[in-house]
């Protein structure tokens, strides 16, 4: 768990430093005909910028302090409670991503998170992402691992109750 936390947070923060150095104030770098782009963005809000128009102090409390408190509770729960390897992986990635983004919120003057990746598959409306970062990827990966674990657990419970 701590290896995931340390690695993800370190990679997230390092890539954000690189984004500031190499992408800020510059045109996007386009790959695969625009499917993937590197571009600099400062997100003062949450997922897809939600809440970005709130006053700075409210964003600090909600996206900084409340999220930090939630992450501390999650870390305590991970250390204290026995859980499956799947759940441990899922929550470790979610926690690591949350830590990476909270570091941004608490260390930037306007409480923003640095984002720098964008994907647009042009297959359907939902295949276009907002601008995101490594921490966001970790959170989404953790979410999908958690869903996988829940589905697998349901299947196992169903097989045991039928068999």
Q: What is the pLDDT confidence band of residue 123, given thresholds at 50, 70 and 90? A: low
Q: Which pLDDT value is given to residue 87?
A: 92
Q: Is 104 a catalytic residue?
A: no
Do the beta carbons of residue 111 and residue 64 sit within 8 Å?
yes
Question: Could you give the CA distance from residue 94 to residue 24 in angstroms, rounded to a whole number?
Answer: 27
Do the beta carbons of residue 8 and residue 100 sit within 8 Å?
yes
Q: How many domains in the chain?
A: 1
* Domain range for 120: 2-162
Residue 163 has pLDDT above 60, yes or no: no
Q: Is 53 a catalytic residue?
A: no
| Structure tokens that stand for 134 in this block | 């490594």
pLDDT digits (tens, 9 = 90+) for 137-149: 999 999 999 999 9
Cβ-proximal residues to 120 (8 Å cutoff; 6+ apart), any chain: 34, 35, 37, 127, 128, 129
No. of H helices and E strands in the chain?
5, 3
Entry pTM: 0.85
Choose the catalytic residue: 12, 87, 104, 115. Answer: 115
């Amino acid at each position: 768990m701590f290896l995931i936390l340390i690695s993800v947070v370190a990679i997230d923060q390092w890539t954000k430093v690189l984004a500031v150095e190499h992408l800020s104030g510059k045109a996007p770098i386009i790959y695969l005909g625009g499917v993937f782009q590197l571009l600099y963005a400062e997100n003062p809000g949450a997922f897809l910028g939600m809440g970005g128009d709130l006053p700075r102090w409210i964003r600090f409390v909600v996206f900084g302090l409340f999220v930090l408190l939630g992450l501390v509770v999650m870390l305590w729960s991970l250390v204290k409670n026995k859980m499956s390897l799947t759940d441990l992986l899922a929550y470790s990635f979610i926690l690591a991503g949350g830590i990476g983004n909270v570091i941004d919120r608490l260390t930037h003057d306007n409480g923003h998170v640095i984002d720098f990746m964008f994907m647009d598959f042009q297959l359907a409306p939902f295949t276009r992402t907002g601008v995101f970062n490594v921490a966001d990827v970790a959170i989404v990966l953790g979410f999908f691992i958690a869903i996988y674990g829940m589905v697998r657990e349901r299947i196992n419970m169903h097989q045991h109750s039928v068999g």
